[in-house]
């Protein structure tokens, strides 16, 4: 059986297209976004519902901690003053430094509060899991109040 050059070329093109399709839909590992140096992923949701209806404030952060005591974060802070004032959300992002403190992770970062960048420390357990409690048990200083839901993941 004699295969023409045109048939070989069409077969090669079809095979190349199939490989490209498989590569495009292949699922990367969960650490693909941060690379192999990622040790912890922290998700923090601090919420304080105001006493007056329509008021409150919150902070939502996603933090990646890499080996070597560095990492980064992104998120948002939000304040609702109700009908008595301006409402607004502030994007948050930047680099972090972190280390072990007993059985906790101590994370240093800057957050924008009231239009000014200020230093904060977030302290979380060094064990994977879901945690909740008063915001001031995780965030210092605590400009938000209320309660926090926290996940420490690989």
- Residue 138 or 81, more confident: 138
In a domain, 115, yes or no: yes
Residue 24 lies in a domain: no
Q: Which residues pair with 117 in a beta bridge?
A: 112
94 CB-near residues (< 8 Å, 6+ apart): 72, 73, 109, 110
Confidence of residue 128 (pLDDT cuts 50, 70, 90): very high
Domain-embedded: residue 47: yes
18 lies in some domain: no
Classify residue 10: in a domain, yes or no. no
In a domain, 58, yes or no: yes
Summarised one tens digit per residue, pLDDT across range 50-103 is 666 667 788 899 999 999 999 999 998 887 776 666 667 888 899 999 999 889
Give the strand pairing for 147-153 and 129-134. antiparallel
- Give the pLDDT score at 100: 93
Number of domains present in the structure of the chain: 1
Q: Residue 74 belongs to a domain with what CATH number?
A: 2.40.128
Whether 32 shows a pLDDT value over 80: the answer reads no
Full domain range(s) for residue 139: 38-153
More confident of the two residues 145 and 139 = 139
d(CA 63, CA 40): 8
pLDDT tens digits, residue range 15-31? 444 444 444 444 333 34
Q: Is residue 76 in some structural domain?
A: yes
CA dist., res. 120 & res. 94, Å (int): 12
The structure tokens listed for 32 are: 């693909």
Is residue 110 domain-resident? yes
């Amino acid at each position: 059986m004699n295969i023409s050059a045109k048939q070989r070329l069409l077969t090669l093109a079809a095979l190349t297209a199939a490989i490209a399709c498989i590569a495009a839909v292949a699922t990367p590992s969960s650490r693909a976004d941060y690379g192999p140096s990622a040790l912890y992923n922290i998700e923090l949701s601090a919420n304080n519902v105001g006493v007056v209806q329509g008021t409150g404030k919150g902070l939502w952060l996603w933090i990646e901690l890499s080996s070597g005591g560095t990492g980064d974060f992104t998120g948002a802070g939000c304040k609702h003053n109700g009908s008595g004032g301006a409402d607004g959300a502030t994007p948050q992002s930047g680099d972090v430094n972190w280390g072990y403190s007993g059985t906790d992770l101590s994370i240093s970062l800057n957050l924008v509060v009231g239009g000014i960048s200020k230093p904060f420390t977030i302290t979380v357990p060094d064990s994977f899991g879901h945690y909740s409690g008063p915001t001031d048990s995780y965030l210092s200083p605590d400009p938000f109040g209320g309660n926090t839901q926290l996940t420490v993941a690989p």
